[in-house]
Amino acid sequence: MSNMPGDDADRQQANRQGTVGPDVPAARKEPRYEESSYPQTPYGRPAYGEPTYGRLPVVPETETRVTGRRIVQYIIDYALAGIIPALAYWLFDRSSGTLHSWGWFVATVISLAAYFVYWVVIPYAHRGQTFGMQLLRIHVIGKNGQKASMLQLFARGVFLIVDTLFFGLVGLITILASRHRQRVGDHVAKTVVVPIRYGPRF
């Protein structure tokens, strides 16, 4: 049986309207964002055109504008982190005999252990925060928006040696000249410091 001309006109009109018949949707679909394509980030899916490392979005520059708080935080942390090393060197320097000859070595070991706990272990266990960061409500995360690993925190801590040169001016100048406000240790470890409201939930 041949099709009537009216049937062809009705079918063409239905196709233009997005259907091919009664209650039958057209085959075309709008492209959808696949949730599994990217890991979840603090603000959800990455924005269009946002720079990425591989498949991970980079933390927005505006979230790293906390330089003033970082200066105050560093002063607090520098004082707190130096308490145990200062006591260790003072106590072993006052000792005598065999203990005195090994005093500086023992004090150095104690100091390195104290610094490791303060700058690596504590931040890793507490949302990337030292005690100073908790007071100023900032924390360290990976530049990709994920939790900073212990290796990243360790690299960041080691490069404090460079950042504290000339009374901390090396670190401060590097931060001010950096797009994401990163000191030397942050550049090496690929970390950033952001407000506590931004970052992974851990």
Model confidence at 180: pLDDT above 70? yes
Mean pLDDT to the nearest integer, 179-185: 96
Residue 83: its H or E element: helix 83-94
Model confidence at 43: pLDDT above 50? no
More confident position, 195 or 36: 195
Buried b (16+ CB within 10 A) or exposed e, 35-46: eeeeeebbeeeb
Mean pLDDT to the nearest integer, 50-72: 78
Longest Cα pair distance anywhere in the chain, in angstroms?
Answer: 115
CA distances from 170 to 175, 184, 190 (A): 9, 8, 18
Task: Give the pLDDT band (50/70/90) at residue 188.
Answer: very high
The overall pTM is greater than 0.85: no
Within 13 Å of residue 110, how many CA atoms lie on the same side as its CB?
Answer: 17
Q: What is the pLDDT of residues 71-100, one digit of tens each?
A: 999 999 999 999 999 999 898 877 666 666
Model confidence at 161: pLDDT above 60? yes
Quote the tokens at residue 23.
Answer: 């209650």
